[in-house]
Structure 1
């Protein structure tokens, strides 16, 4: 099976602003791509976006990848025009220093710079201390608070301003790869399923608000009530310096689909994925999980009376930073494996 990714769609999706709870711009890009091939495309009141092929087919399969990214929300603008923010999702404030931020402002996009005292002005004890988000500010170039408030207000959202770039070996660097790459992958898988004659009813969902509590996974899974589900997210790449494989397992860039084994994963769905990967030479690795995967899988698995689910992850370096990195060969492996599963789904799901 030949897998060719729509990289232009990926670039547009990564460039869209879409922090948790404010995913509209990214959802619009996703919907426009879905409308080129899906039989039905819609959005719900929560903000989840759905694309379906073969409505009325059997069995019913859900593909889930969350659309939201970590972001910032304006909390206070002082009299000098400096902007103070809170995090939408889990930030390491150290990676924010000196970064540029793009706000969705009152009159259009506004660029700002994350400020901190220059190292020359920091006292020795300050240099040793990890900075907190409350100690940083964003400078949009305003002359004073009145001017700043013409462009921003409390509740204005923003994201890191970084371009999408390709580096060596088919690897992509961008903010928002966690988990815009998952939302991209489930829609690409759906497109390949349609092209390869899948007869099951399959719905790809770009879920919302995963970074702040898996919220869109609960509402979308409840709405669809599928027979089974495949979730795509990122996992920590373990071939970078400082990562203990004894603690984190093994999932290097370029190793293919990473399959999770644990109590949240239905054993028959996982077994089918592994059998298909081995039969069709799709590269994969395994990761052990205990109580939680920390992904939409945890919500979907306990929705209604329980939805049999499995988690396919894409190794990601520098997660929750302005420069995350994934290997598109891993994305291709996940797309291929999901398509093979849709062609050969598990129907006997009783444990």
Structure 2
């Protein structure tokens, strides 16, 4: 599991918001180049790593494994006369979680440190204390005295911004950091390609772009690959901490990978029964812990993939991750390892 943790740390600490995934793509390529037959980048920026099967080409099925490379982040919108920077959110933020955090602005002259500032509590009025934090209330301070200093630092409109957080160890093989959604999925993708020999089928491991802003990369890459079926690897919300009604589900950290039955109340993916049964049967047969999810909330790249071309049978396997879309996401390295093992065992002898 140490190698799994090291890979996750490298990916989590790197930065790549939606549409600016180049750093993550480089890591993904570097980690997989020695264990695949071909790597290419498509026009939208998806990274596609291929390990060809042992059977004759005309008889081989194509399997697509997808995990998105992008993280939610920020982008510079406006620089005021005094050097304070206004921004927009890229992806699904709960804006109060940004208050008083440290950030990195990825400008043309290299990374610049900054903080998201606010009025100190000492001078807040009673009315201000009751107000919910809005995006327009937030700004970035890099220490500049005016707009010219900001521009001279290589910051302009459109500069991407990420949270300045590094991966840290917690108890019980758990870690905390940013962008575990979905650098955990990428870690599974990499580790899977390391562990398997050439199978009967062709494996297309895809790091997709712009999932957090519309499942965009999954749409174009699945159209190009046209796989016989696909598995998406992502993260999902456990119900094992205060503040969440346990009646919503029984998903917990350390209880293994989560097999999706349906998400977004069916507006996203309703997984085919044959894929659900296949994954459950493998997990039971190989004694791999697993959980099942029927969710009302978000969705994944599977929503785009399963509607590509004439339709592609698609499943989702997720890693339970607390506090998703915040700077302090938490997951278990054991769950990542078990997710890899489930996919390895499932694809060793697949007939869908």
Query: What TM-score does the superposition give when structure 1 sets the normalisation length?
Result: 0.94
**Runs of 4+ residues over 3 Å off in structure 1:** 3-6
SS of the counterpart of 1:312? strand
Alpha-carbon distance between aligned partners in 2 of 1:38 and 1:4, rounded to the nearest angstrom: 22
Counterpart of 2:339 in structure 1 is 334
CA RMSD of aligned residues (A): 1.5
Alpha-carbon distance between aligned partners in 1 of 2:128 and 2:351, rounded to the nearest angstrom: 57
Alpha-carbon distance between aligned partners in 2 of 1:192 and 1:35, rounded to the nearest angstrom: 14
Alpha-carbon distance between aligned partners in 2 of 1:72 and 1:36, rounded to the nearest angstrom: 34
Q: Is the 8 A contact 1:193 1:342 kept in 2?
A: no
Over residues 284-319 of structure 1, what are the superposed CA-to-partner deviations in whole Å (9 max), with x where a residue is unaligned? 1111146x8510111111111111111101101011
Pairing of 1:1-351 with structure 2 (within 5 A)? 5-54=3-52, 56=57, 58-151=60-153, 152-194=155-197, 197-247=198-248, 249-262=249-262, 264-289=270-295, 294-347=299-352
Q: Is the 8 A contact 2:77 2:157 kept in 1?
A: yes
SS of the counterpart of 1:76? strand
Following superposition, the deviation at residue 149 of structure 1 comes to 1.3
- Gaps (5+ residues) in structure 1? none
Following superposition, the deviation at residue 4 of structure 1 comes to 6.8
- Gaps (5+ residues) in structure 2? 263-268
SS of the counterpart of 1:69? coil
Q: Is the 8 A contact 2:35 2:193 kept in 1?
A: no
SS of the counterpart of 2:172? helix
Following superposition, the deviation at residue 142 of structure 1 comes to 0.7
Counterpart of 2:265 in structure 1 is none
Q: Is the 8 A contact 2:4 2:333 kept in 1?
A: no
Counterpart of 2:266 in structure 1 is none
Alpha-carbon distance between aligned partners in 2 of 1:320 and 1:48, rounded to the nearest angstrom: 22
Over residues 67-111 of structure 1, what are the superposed CA-to-partner deviations in whole Å (9 max), with x where a residue is unaligned? 100000000000100011000001111111110111111210000
**CA separation of 1:98 and 1:29: change in aligned 2, threshold 3 A:** same
Q: Is the 8 A contact 2:5 2:333 kept in 1?
A: no
Following superposition, the deviation at residue 346 of structure 1 comes to 2.7
Q: Is the 8 A contact 1:65 1:186 kept in 2?
A: yes
SS of the counterpart of 2:16? coil
Over residues 25-79 of structure 1, what are the superposed CA-to-partner deviations in whole Å (9 max), with x where a residue is unaligned? 1111111111121111111110100111116472211101111000000000001
SS of the counterpart of 1:211? coil
The number of equivalent residue pairs is 341
**CA separation of 1:198 and 1:5: change in aligned 2, threshold 3 A:** farther
Q: Is the 8 A contact 1:269 1:346 kept in 2?
A: no
Q: Which is further off, 180-189 or 49-58? A: 49-58
